[in-house]
A and B are shown apart, each in its own frame.
Chain A
Amino acid sequence: MPGPVCPLPVDGLSRFMPMYLLLDGQGTILSVGPTLARVLDGIPPPGARFEDLFEVRSPGGAMTVAEVLDRAGQRFRLMPRNRSKIGLRGVGMRLDEGRLILLNLSFGIDLIAAVRKFSLSDADFAATDLAMELLYLAEANAAVTRELRALNLRLEGARMAAEEEALTDPLTGLRNRRAADLLLERLCAAKAGFGLLHIDLDYFKKVNDSLGHAAGDHVLATVSRILADQIRADDCAVRIGGDEFVVIIVNRTEERVLRTIAERIIARVSDPIDAQGSEVRISASVGIARSVDLTPCEPARILAEADRALYAAKRAGRGRAVLLAPQGN
Chain B
Amino acid sequence: MDALMLRSLQGYIIDTFGTSVWQAVCRRAALPGETFEPMLRYASGTADRVARHAAEVLGRPVETIWEDMGTYLVTNPDNDGVRRLLRFGGMGFVDFLHSLEEMPGRARLALPDLEMPEVELRELGPDRFEIRCRSEPGGMTSVLVGILTAMADDYGVLCLIEPGPLGTIQVKILDCAHSAARRFDLARPDH
Contact = CB atoms under 8 A, between A and B. Distances in A.
A151 to B, nearest CB: 5
Closest 6 CB pairs of A and B: A140-B110, A116-B187, A136-B88, A115-B186, A115-B187, A143-B81
Interface of B: 35, 37-40, 81, 84-85, 88, 91, 106-107, 109-111, 185-188
A140 B186 contact: no
Nearest to B107: A140
Contacts of B111: 144
Contacts of B186: 115, 120-122, 132, 135
A196 to B, nearest CB: 40
Contacts of A144: 39, 110-111
A119 B189 CA distance: 11
Interface in A116-140: 116, 119-123, 132-133, 135-137, 139-140
Given A140-B110, A143-B110, A119 B185 contact: yes
A140 B106 contact: yes
A147 interface: yes
Nearest to B82: A143
Secondary structure at chain B's binding surface: helix, strand, loop or mixed?
loop
A154 interface: yes
A111 to B, nearest CB: 10
Contact of B85 (A116, A121, A140): A140
Nearest to A148: B39
Given A136-B106, A136-B109, 14 more contacts: A115-B186, A119-B185, A122-B91, A132-B88, A137-B109, A137-B110, A139-B81, A139-B88, A139-B188, A140-B109, A141-B110, A142-B188, A143-B81, A151-B39
25 contacts: A116-B187, A120-B186, A121-B185, A122-B91, A122-B186, A133-B109, A135-B186, A136-B85, A136-B88, A136-B106, A136-B109, A137-B109, A137-B110, A139-B81, A139-B88, A139-B188, A140-B109, A141-B110, A142-B188, A143-B85, A147-B39, A151-B37, A151-B39, A151-B40, A154-B35
A132 B86 CA distance: 12
A167 interface: no
B15 to A, nearest CB: 17
A119 B110 CA distance: 25
A139 B110 CA distance: 9
B76 to A, nearest CB: 14
A140 B170 CA distance: 28
Of A133, A136, A142, the most chain B CB neighbours within 10 A belong to A136
A265 B106 CA distance: 67
A123 B95 CA distance: 13
B38 A147 contact: yes
A148 B111 CA distance: 12
A62 interface: no
Given A139-B88, A140-B85, A119 B38 contact: no
Nearest to B190: A142
A30 interface: no
A112 interface: yes
Contacts of B88: 132-133, 135-136, 139
Pick from B35, B37, B88, B111 the residue with the most CB of A within 10 Å.
B88
A19 to B, nearest CB: 16
A140 to B, nearest CB: 4
Nearest to B186: A115
A123 B85 CA distance: 17
A137 B88 CA distance: 10
B38 A139 contact: no
Interface in A148-187: 148, 151, 154
Contacts of A115: 186-187
A221 to B, nearest CB: 29
A121 B91 CA distance: 9
